[in-house]
């Protein structure tokens, strides 16, 4: 890790940009391929109807998202070089605290930004693109309007500029962020029904929780946890009753309506 940090600190910007693009492309590939395998592994626990075949348009949109994510991480690199974003090098208890703080602060901030994205000012032209994916799959995580990707990424940059966390804490958080996003868009529920009875993990958002949001845009806005939806009354009342299965009300949800995707009509 220290060698990589030292290299990033002195790397020319084209080299840094190339590395960050490869990193984001690798994350995209792992999330898509790994998520697809999980969807097949837990195909008997579908929480959304089976999606249609992947289209070229969806792949193109996902690749644009990879470029957008690269621009965000590149902006973070520039801010770090300028001293606006600072990182510690410890790996102990404080790094663990960084992970916890980042998860809860980002979860609240993303919940608020997500609610804003669903407002009449932003939903039609910004967030609706993501919700054309009414039957989510692993690729759905990357199908977003580029402006929305940049907005969520900008929020992340603001948070890490205000909180000088450790490299280790940030790295663990970013891994958990991708894992959480992938699990939420599988269209299946990999967690057992007993998940709802376990005191702490029952608050963690999984496949059922976010699939319901893609089928009903008025509920389940949280990213990592159910805390804010329960606190603000935006969780679907039947979330627990329909955990690990396709809700009866979702059986008539259309497969989607991506612009130009005639197979979805």
Task: Compute the half-sphere exposure of residue 34: CA atoms within 13 Å on the CB side of its CA.
Answer: 14
Residue at 263 is within a domain: no
The Cα–Cα gap between 4 and 18 comes to 14
Residue at 265 is within a domain: no
Tally of structural domains, the chain:
1
- Count how many residues are written for the chain: 265
Identify whether the C-beta of residue 128 lies closer than 8 Å to the C-beta of residue 43.
Answer: no
Task: Compute the half-sphere exposure of residue 260: CA atoms within 13 Å on the CB side of its CA.
Answer: 7
Domain extent at residue 246:
2-258
- In order along its 265 residues, the chain shows pLDDT tens digits of 778 888 888 999 999 999 999 999 999 999 999 999 999 999 999 999 999 999 999 999 999 999 999 999 999 999 999 999 999 999 999 999 999 999 999 999 999 999 999 999 999 999 999 999 999 999 999 999 999 999 999 999 999 999 999 999 999 999 999 999 999 999 999 999 999 999 999 999 999 999 999 999 999 999 999 999 999 999 999 999 999 999 998 887 777 654 433 333 3
Identify whether the C-beta of residue 213 lies closer than 8 Å to the C-beta of residue 220.
Answer: yes
Residue at 104 is within a domain: yes
Residue at 20 is within a domain: yes
Residue at 11 is within a domain: yes
Residue at 264 is within a domain: no
Helix (H) / strand (E) element for 172: namely helix 167-184
């Amino acid at each position: 890790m220290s060698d990589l940090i030292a290299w990033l600190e002195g790397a020319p910007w084209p080299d840094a940009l190339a590395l960050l693009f490869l990193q984001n492309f690798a994350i995209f590939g792992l999330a898509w391929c790994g998520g697809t395998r999980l969807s097949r592994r837990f195909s008997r626990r579908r929480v959304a109807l089976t999606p249609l075949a992947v289209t070229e348009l969806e792949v193109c949109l996902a690749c644009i998202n990879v470029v957008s994510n690269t621009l965000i991480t590149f902006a973070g690199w520039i801010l770090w070089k300028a001293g606006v974003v600072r990182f510690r090098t410890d790996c102990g208890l404080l790094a663990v605290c960084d992970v916890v703080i980042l998860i809860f602060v980002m979860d609240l901030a993303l919940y608020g930004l997500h609610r804003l994205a669903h407002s009449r000012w932003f939903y039609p032209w910004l967030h609706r693109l993501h919700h054309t994916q009414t039957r989510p799959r692993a690729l759905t995580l990357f199908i977003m309007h580029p402006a929305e990707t940049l907005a969520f990424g900008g929020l992340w940059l603001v948070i890490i500029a205000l909180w000088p966390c450790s490299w280790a804490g940030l790295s663990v958080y970013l891994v958990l962020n991708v894992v959480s996003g992938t699990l939420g868009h599988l269209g299946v529920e990999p967690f057992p029904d007993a998940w709802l009875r376990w005191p702490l993990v029952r608050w963690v958002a999984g496949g059922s929780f976010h699939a319901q949001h893609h089928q009903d845009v008025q509920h389940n806005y949280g990213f990592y946890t159910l805390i804010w939806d329960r606190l603000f009354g935006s969780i679907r009342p039947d979330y627990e009753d329909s955990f690990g299965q396709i809700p009866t009300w979702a059986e008539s949800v259309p497969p989607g309506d991506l612009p130009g995707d005639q197979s979805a009509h």
